[in-house]
Amino acid sequence: MKKGARALGIAESFRGDRSTLAGVVTRASCVADGFAFTTCTVGGTDATDAICSLFGDLGREDVRYVLVSGIAPAWFNVVDLHHVADRTDRPVLSVTYENSEGLEPALHEQFDGDELDERLETYLAQPDRQRVGIGDETLFVRAVGLNDDEAAAVVDGFTPVGGRPEPLRVARLAARGADEFRRSR
Cβ distance 22 to 174 under 8 Å?
A: yes
CA distances from 68 to 9, 61, 113, 181, 184 (A): 6, 18, 27, 22, 26
pLDDT, mean of residues 102-129: 98
Q: Where do the structural domains in the chain lie, given as residue ranges?
A: 6-179
Looking at residue 183, its pLDDT comes to 84
Segment 52-92, tens digit of pLDDT: 999 999 999 999 999 999 999 999 999 999 999 999 999 99
Looking at residue 182, its pLDDT comes to 86
Q: In this predicted model, which residue has the larger pLDDT, 52 or 161?
A: 52
Segment 46-58, tens digit of pLDDT: 999 999 999 999 9
Looking at residue 162, its pLDDT comes to 84
Q: What is the DSSP string of 62-82?
A: TEEEEEEESSSHHHH----HH
pTM for the complete prediction? 0.97
**Residue 125 DSSP class:** T
CATH 3.90.1150.10 fits 6-179, yes or no: no
